[in-house]
Chain A
Amino acid sequence: MERIYEIQMGIEELARRALETGTVGGVAALLEVPETNKIAFTLVRAPEDVKGLAPFSPWMLENAARSISQMTREAAFTQPVAVILRPCELRALRELVKLKQVNMTNLILISFDCPGVFPIGSRLNGNGDLPAAYEKAVLEGTNCPGIRQVCSACEEFVPRGADMVISLVGRSPTDTLRAAFPTEAGQKFAEALGLLAEGREVEAGEERDRLAGIRADEHNALSARIQGSLKDLDGLVSVFDRCISCHACRYVCPVCYCKDCFFESPAFSYYPHSLHKRLEQSAAGLRLPLDRLLFHLGRLTHMGASCVACGMCEDVCVAGIPVSQIFKTVGGDIQQMFDYLPGGSPDDPLPLLTYREDELKEMED
């Protein structure tokens, strides 16, 4: 059973103390700069810079696993760095470890049970105030209207494998922290900061379970809705016919890590004579750019097994295609077939990089 401690400080104070005591050399998290209405994932090194630390802010401007990858891929941190991530960012991080894009050395993983985030646009075009409805939903353990669709349907909102797990659902963002320290590294971190000695053990609230129930229902509804909208070919075509081939969805995707995406390789660049030939053969004419549906089908086969349903792709899609809902649904079926939860356990190998000799006989014809 996890042990949850009430800690007499907020997240800023915790970060400041961690830096001041030298327990960590840096803290990486979302940071708000109210004067400029800016918010960004930031690596903070000086205790006085923790002001504005806002890891619970209900926006995700990028899946921060990408930033951690950029900061550690070629060289690990040389001193401990506490990173505060949402559960889907943490899962993406773990997928990237398996893809050799992240070095976990010296990372202290802090996460929290996640009420969900709003689409990016509402932050970039808004004033950054926390909507009152959001606060209320977090407190009650319900879905706040207007959060990302995949957030409403996210059953993996309680982090796995974090060193420190903050209980947020059922609390107010301004409350003092409640947290569990499930790993050895987490215990050490808590001890170094004196959190366990000062803290008081508390019971988990029921709000998290309430949210889990709501999310499970929403997940079923989302899958049914998406499958229904794609079910016949006309549906599939009308959904993807809107795609303008900008590939922004794969660019922001945390698990699409390839430096040179296959879909931007010469395998998909056409020479005039090949286009002319196609045009001759096609009664209906040739619609450009080519390979829009193929790109999505292909991306599903490349990383559908690793999709953590974070919602970034859908948020950046100018065409309004429910990309992340589609990837959550189709990717979810692939994951279920391989009995794999992306970013779940570090010991489970990537489904397409492993095999068992005695499996999937039903796939042979």
Chain B
Amino acid sequence: MKEESKEFTPNILYALCSWCGSGGSETAGAMKLHYPENVKPVRFYCTGGIDPVYIFRALLEGADGVVVSGCHPGDCHFDTGNYRARRRIAAVKTILNTLGLDGDRVWLRWVGHGEGKRFVDTASEFDEHIQEKGPSPLKGIRGV
């Protein structure tokens, strides 16, 4: 099982807010921790500023999964951005599930500035999770 799925290297987008999410990745760097190279971090100003359209765009344009990390509840740099993001991600997952697509190809997990280990663990865990799922069928329909 594992052998087989190893042949597939998922294309993963890791959306991070500028504050905690990116902070987590910086801490990971300072601690010299590694995460899979196929996980590509993208920095957003705040998770609350991520228009779900960009998540769908990524999934339609070749990503096998998208994971979003921002500040833990109560820690948002803008106080409430992460709570708003949680509602938007909930809408994205609902849309994917209702359409018979897979809401579980989108993850939301809080990562604090100092949580370098949690950052790399999330990247690895999501990578494995998507490897098990296999390639996203959505990315094959580019142009639709």
Assess whether B100 is in contact with A297, with CB atoms less than 8 Å apart. no
- Asked if B30 is at the interface of the complex by the 8 Å CB criterion, the answer is no
Which of A233, A240, A262 is the one whose CB lies under 8 Å from B101? Answer: A233
- Min CB distance, A87 to chain B, in Å? 24
Interface pick from A168-176, A211-219, A349-357: A349-357
Assess whether B53 is in contact with A232, with CB atoms less than 8 Å apart. no
Interface pick from B12-20, B21-29, B36-44, B84-92: B84-92
For A301, list chain B residues within 8 Å (CB). 51-53, 56, 88, 91-92, 95
- Asked if A338 is at the interface of the complex by the 8 Å CB criterion, the answer is yes
- Asked if A230 is at the interface of the complex by the 8 Å CB criterion, the answer is yes
Closest-by-CB residue of A relative to B96 is: A297
Assess whether B99 is in contact with A330, with CB atoms less than 8 Å apart. yes
Assess whether B90 is in contact with A363, with CB atoms less than 8 Å apart. yes
Query: Mask for B85-111, Cβ within 8 A of A = 1, else 0?
Result: 011111111110111110000011110
Cα separation A17 to B126 with both chains bound (whole Å): 68
Question: Looking at chain A's contact residues, is the secondary structure mostly helix, strand, loop, or mixed?
Answer: helix
Interface size classification for chain A: 35 or more
Given A298-B52, A333-B94, A352 and B143 touching (CB < 8 A)? no
- Min CB distance, A264 to chain B, in Å? 13
Given A357-B73, A360-B90, A294 and B53 touching (CB < 8 A)? yes
Query: Mask for A275-300, Cβ within 8 A of B = 1, else 0?
Result: 00010001011111011111001101
Given A230-B100, A237-B141, A355 and B109 touching (CB < 8 A)? no
For B95, list chain A residues within 8 Å (CB). 297, 300-301, 304, 330, 333-334
For A333, list chain B residues within 8 Å (CB). 94-95, 97-98
For B98, list chain A residues within 8 Å (CB). 227, 329-330, 333
Cα separation A354 to B87 with both chains bound (whole Å): 8
Interface size classification for chain B: 35 or more
Which of B73, B86, B94 gathers most chain A CB within 10 Å?
Answer: B94
Given A233-B137, A301-B53, A329-B98, A357 and B83 touching (CB < 8 A)? yes
Closest-by-CB residue of A relative to B97 is: A333
Assess whether B91 is in contact with A293, with CB atoms less than 8 Å apart. no
Given A304-B91, A355-B84, A357-B73, A240 and B53 touching (CB < 8 A)? no
For B137, list chain A residues within 8 Å (CB). 233
Given A297-B56, A365-B109, A337 and B142 touching (CB < 8 A)? no
Which of A301, A334, A365 gathers most chain B CB within 10 Å?
Answer: A365
Question: Looking at chain B's contact residues, is the secondary structure mostly helix, strand, loop, or mixed?
Answer: helix
- Asked if A241 is at the interface of the complex by the 8 Å CB criterion, the answer is yes
Cα separation A284 to B143 with both chains bound (whole Å): 9
For A288, list chain B residues within 8 Å (CB). 143
Cα separation A87 to B110 with both chains bound (whole Å): 42
Assess whether B86 is in contact with A365, with CB atoms less than 8 Å apart. no
- Asked if A236 is at the interface of the complex by the 8 Å CB criterion, the answer is yes
Query: Mask for B50-63, Cβ within 8 A of A = 1, else 0?
Result: 01110011001000
Cα separation A297 to B93 with both chains bound (whole Å): 11
- Min CB distance, A109 to chain B, in Å? 30
Cα separation A227 to B97 with both chains bound (whole Å): 10
Assess whether A364 is in contact with B86, with CB atoms less than 8 Å apart. yes
- Asked if A210 is at the interface of the complex by the 8 Å CB criterion, the answer is no
- Min CB distance, B98 to chain A, in Å? 5
- Asked if A188 is at the interface of the complex by the 8 Å CB criterion, the answer is no
Assess whether A282 is in contact with B142, with CB atoms less than 8 Å apart. yes
Closest-by-CB residue of B relative to A263 is: B53
Cα separation A255 to B40 with both chains bound (whole Å): 36
For A360, list chain B residues within 8 Å (CB). 86-87, 90
Assess whether A334 is in contact with B141, with CB atoms less than 8 Å apart. no
Closest-by-CB residue of B relative to A363 is: B90
Cα separation A346 to B99 with both chains bound (whole Å): 30
Which of A233, A262, A357 gathers most chain B CB within 10 Å?
Answer: A233
Which of B57, B90, B94 is the one whose CB lies under 8 Å from A294? Answer: B57
- Asked if A225 is at the interface of the complex by the 8 Å CB criterion, the answer is no
Task: List the 6 closest pairs (A to B, CB-CB), nearest first.
Answer: A287-B143, A355-B83, A298-B53, A365-B107, A301-B52, A231-B100
A residues touching B (Cβ–Cβ < 8 Å)?
Answer: 227, 230-233, 235-237, 240-241, 262, 278, 282, 284-288, 290-294, 297-298, 300-302, 304-305, 329-330, 333-334, 337-338, 351-357, 359-360, 363-365
